[in-house]
Each structure stands twice: as C-alpha cells, then as structure tokens.
Amino acid sequence: MANPYQDAGVNVESGYKISQFVKQKTKSKSIGNFGGIYEIPAGFKQPVLVSSDDGVGTKLLLTNEFKKWDTIGIDCVAMCVNDILAQGAIPQYFLDYISTGKVDQKVEEILKGVIAGCQMSNASLIGGETAEMPGVYGDNDYDIAGFAVGICEKDELLRKENIQEGNVLIGITSSGIHSNGYSLVRKIFFQDNDFNLETILPELDGQTLGEILLTPTKIYANELVPLLGQKLINGAAHITGGGFFENVPRMLPDGLAAEINVDIWPELPIFAALQKYGHLETIDMYHIFNMGLGMVLAVDPKDELKVLEQLNQLETVAYTIGEVVEKDSTNLILKGDKL
C-alpha cells in the first residue's frame, strides 16, 4: 500500500526505530510518550528549577566533513548543563531536538553522544524529538539543540550578591575550544589557510585538525556538584561565546571587577595555532575563546586550598588565576606577560 508521507520524503518508521534505540540505551520507559516525566527528588524545602537550552553552533558542520558524529551530542549536553551548574543547580534531566533531511545512521551516532553526555552529567534523558524535514535540510544536513533542567534550594542559588571583594578566582581547564567560535575557526583554518581536517600542524603535537576541533566540550558536573554540596562556591562563570570579557563579569555584582593573571594556567596548543594562522591580537582571543579555561569560580579565600585540593585530586585542572577587586573603569582586568 502506498504511503503518501513516505512519497513526500519522510520515513515515519525511522523515527520509531530511533525511539526504540534510545529506550534500549537508557532503559527509559517514558521515551516515546507525548511528554517526558520527572519526579522532583524528596528532601528539598524550597526547590527551584534552573533551565537552559542551547545548541552547538557551526561545530556540527565539521562532523559531516569528518564523518564522525558520536561526540557532538556530548557538546550539546555540556553547553546546557554547564550553564545550569554555573547557577548553582544540580543537573536532573535533559531533552534533545535533532532535525535532518534524512534520518539515518548519523542520528544514532549523535544520540550516542547525547546519552554519554547525560551519563557524565548524572542527568536523565527523559525525551526528545527527531524530525525528518526534507526540503529544509539536505539528506546529510542536520541541527541539534538541547534543553536541561537542574534543581537546588532557593537560598543556595549562586547569586551576584554572594560575591565579595577579595574573593579568589579559580579557573578550571577546558578540553579545547568547546563549542564556541567555530565560524571564525573554520574561516581561519579552512578558508584563509586552505587546511583540511587531516592537516597536522606543528603546533598541535601530532594530532590532526579534525581530532582537535571535534574534541567534545568538557562537562563540569563532577567538579562542581561536590563543591556546591559543601557550599564552597560563591559564584561561577561558564566561559562560552564572548570569552572572558562577556562571561566573567556576568557573575559579578555592581561595583566589583575581576582581576585575572593570564600567565597562570597553561595555554592549549590550539589557541596558539588559531592566533598564529588567524593573525589575531592576543586581547581579541580573550574576547572570543575560553583560552583553556571553561569555568571560573569565585570562592572565599579561606576555602581556596580546600577547593584546589578537591579539584586537583587526580590531575591538576584548577588554578588560582586572580581575585575580585573594587571596580574602577572596567569590570574585567587582564594582566600578564602574554598580553
């Protein structure tokens, strides 16, 4: 029997298969229902929900070129989860939205990353949508977005007024570029310099550009959740689009500024390569990229060593990079020989 919807280019059966795939991987009974269901954990006195939605920008274009789709879902989860962690909330659940011209093996690969990201965040994947939209997308084209929700006590939210002059700033390392600035990254490497994903630059320690650029965004749940539980964080900034200049001031109250020494933490080779081949000014790099730090915390000086010891138990990933000072003319002061 003819299927007019399939004749129009939409394979409904492929959507059913995707639902079954996610059910098998997550053991979730709610996947495939009309809405995801989540029961708020017991024990909260005045719980508040913190939510975030985000995508991965033009980084996803590289997954098609490299034919590697199994990590971009981690990026999507990370971009949402890291935002709610920066508000002081503990990740609880996540939903994804994937749209494409044709549902095929790449969607399962993308969802493997989503599932892995949820596991890293200790968040439940309670639902999502996979939309086949021929005419809007080519067969190989797709987009992905996500929505995450976290929970915390109302009086434990990380608010601007929690931060005081003299608070120490601790930076936690990133895994690379994360999921921001890729339109510029692609222009520098693939348009202006005619490199490709298999190019091995001398600055990148033997790895190809593809391997470096598709490194997934670091998820900071394991680092921040224990610190939040011990009330050791006064504020946090997720360093995403806009780099240091846009994101660090977002956690500060009026009248205070962040003073940061950029010489403290090691620079990842990818940023040196971007600056070299893009002919970028150093200060512009801090306006665009995370420069090797994906999260910046404000903590009380008396808790500085305790926080550093906890973060650096297995390897050194956190550094004291500065302090909160009285604001003069700007709310972010960068200093150091690198500038």
- pLDDT tens per residue, range 244-266: 999 999 999 999 999 999 999 99
Final residue of a structural domain among 136, 156, 176: 156
Pair (124, 23) in one structural domain = yes
Looking at the structure, tell me whether residues 280 and 207 fall in a common domain.
yes
User: Where do the H-state alpha helices sit in the chain?
Assistant: 4-7, 12-26, 59-66, 72-85, 105-121, 182-186, 209-213, 221-229, 243-247, 269-278, 282-288, 304-311
- CATH (domain of 196): 3.90.650.10
What pLDDT sits at residue 34?
A: 80
Residues 229 and 96 in one domain: no
Residue 282 lies in a domain: yes
Rounded to the nearest 5 degrees, what angle is found at the Cα of 283, between the Cα atoms of 219 and 298?
Answer: 45
> Does 271 lie in the same domain as 200?
yes
Looking at the structure, do residues 85 and 136 belong to the same domain, yes or no?
A: yes
The answer to whether position 124 is within a domain reads: yes
How many domains are there within the chain?
2
- For 69, phi then psi, to 5°, come to -115, 0
Res 78: pLDDT: 98
Tell me if 312 is assigned to some domain. yes
- The reply to whether 175 and 315 lie within a common domain is yes
Say yes or no: 251 and 300 in one domain.
yes
The neighbour count for residue 319, using CB atoms within 10 Å, is 20
Regions in the chain scoring below 70 on pLDDT = 1-19, 21-25, 27-32
Query: What is residue 264's predicted lDDT score, i.e. its pLDDT?
Result: 98
**pLDDT tens-digit readout, 132-188:** 999 999 999 999 999 999 999 999 999 999 999 999 999 999 999 999 999 999 999
The alpha carbons of the chain give a radius of gyration, in whole angstroms, of: 21
pLDDT at residue 276, rounded to an integer: 98
Tell me what pLDDT residue 13 has.
58
pLDDT at 129: 94
Question: In 10 A of CB 317, how many CB atoms?
Answer: 20
CATH number (domain holding residue 110): 3.30.1330.10
86 and 214 together in one domain: no
Note down the domain range covering 140.
12-29+43-156
Quote the pLDDT of residue 51: 98
Whether residues 51 and 121 share a domain: the answer is: yes
On whether both 261 and 298 belong to a single domain, the answer is yes
Residue 7 lies in a domain: no
- Examine the domain organization and report whether 62 and 145 are in the same domain: yes
pLDDT for res 211: 96
The pTM of this model reads: 0.94
> Among 156, 179, 204, where does a domain finish?
156
296 and 324 belong to one structural domain = yes
Single residue among 129, 156, 183 that ends a domain in this structure: 156
